Amino acid sequence: MSSSKSCSSSKSLSPIFNICWLSSRESSCFFAQSAKSFLALSVISTNTSRLFSLLRLYDENYKISHEEMLEMIQEATAAPSSVNMQPWRFIIAETEESKAKLKPLIRFNTRQNDTSSAMILIFGDMLNYELGEEIYDQAVAEGKMPQEARDQQIGAIIPYYKSFSKQEMNDVVKIDSSLAAMQLMLVARAHGYETNPIGGFEKDQLAEAFDLDKERFVPVMILSIGKAVEEGYESVRMNADKITTFK
């Protein structure tokens, strides 16, 4: 189910990022724009161990259509982000050429790369505020924000973001993009797919390998996605009372 109400006038950033960016209502509406996100939550509550098992092997003949991939990303980007700047950017490596380019950069995760329907490269845009006016204009056009509030917020947010140090912005885009990445894993499960989050890759080479400005686009995570052909290795989690303190 796509979120047509919240993305009635979505636009693509550029051909290389052929992904719609929607304007979320409020950060409190984390999952409100996608019924399948709610379904994913029910999955995690009933089958957590399988959801987070280590999966390395997929049906290499199964392909995910571009339409469904965009639908899943649309649902995943209902995730909240700081002042709704939505810094996440996605590249879908699905062709043999793209996967061959990626393979030497993920030396310990090649089985996922070889067999998955796609490898989703998630980047954080260090200049995300350049789309700030477009995002807030969309909110006004869709009746989610009055013009006065838009002008006031943009007038404060853009200069504030521009004042961030490189490290400060790096922290923001990685936190926000990780929220979208986790939601994408939940959404993918609701669509009947398995994912594997990958953090072990050549972070200093990934952006340039896919023709991106490495100073602007910070690699956050890679997700493999596809139809599983084997059960993943189950892992364990510490009890909540061991890692939680009430004061």
Which pLDDT score is estimated for 160?
Answer: 97
List, for residues 85-118, the tens digit of each pLDDT value.
Answer: 999 999 999 999 999 999 999 988 999 999 999 9
> What band does 238 get if pLDDT is binned at 50, 70 and 90?
very high
Residues whose CB falls within 8 Å of the CB of residue 86, separated by 6 or more in sequence, listed in order: 21, 22, 23, 24, 77, 128, 131, 135, 176
Mean pLDDT (the chain) is 84
Residue 18 has pLDDT above 80, yes or no: no
Which pLDDT score is estimated for 49?
Answer: 44
What number is the average pLDDT over the span 183-210? Answer: 96
What number is the average pLDDT over the span 4-23? Answer: 33
Residue 24 has pLDDT above 90, yes or no: no
What number is the average pLDDT over the span 70-81? Answer: 98
Which pLDDT score is estimated for 236?
Answer: 85
Residue 241 CA to residue 206 CA, distance in Å, equals 39
What number is the average pLDDT over the span 7-12? Answer: 34
Task: Express as a percent the part of the chain with pLDDT over 70.
Answer: 78
> What band does 17 get if pLDDT is binned at 50, 70 and 90?
very low
Residue 230 has pLDDT above 50, yes or no: yes
From residue 15, alpha-carbon distances to 12, 85, 132 in Å are: 7, 20, 19
> What band does 43 get if pLDDT is binned at 50, 70 and 90?
very low
Contact predicate 1/31, CB 8 Å = no
User: What residue type is assigned to position 75 of the chain?
Assistant: E
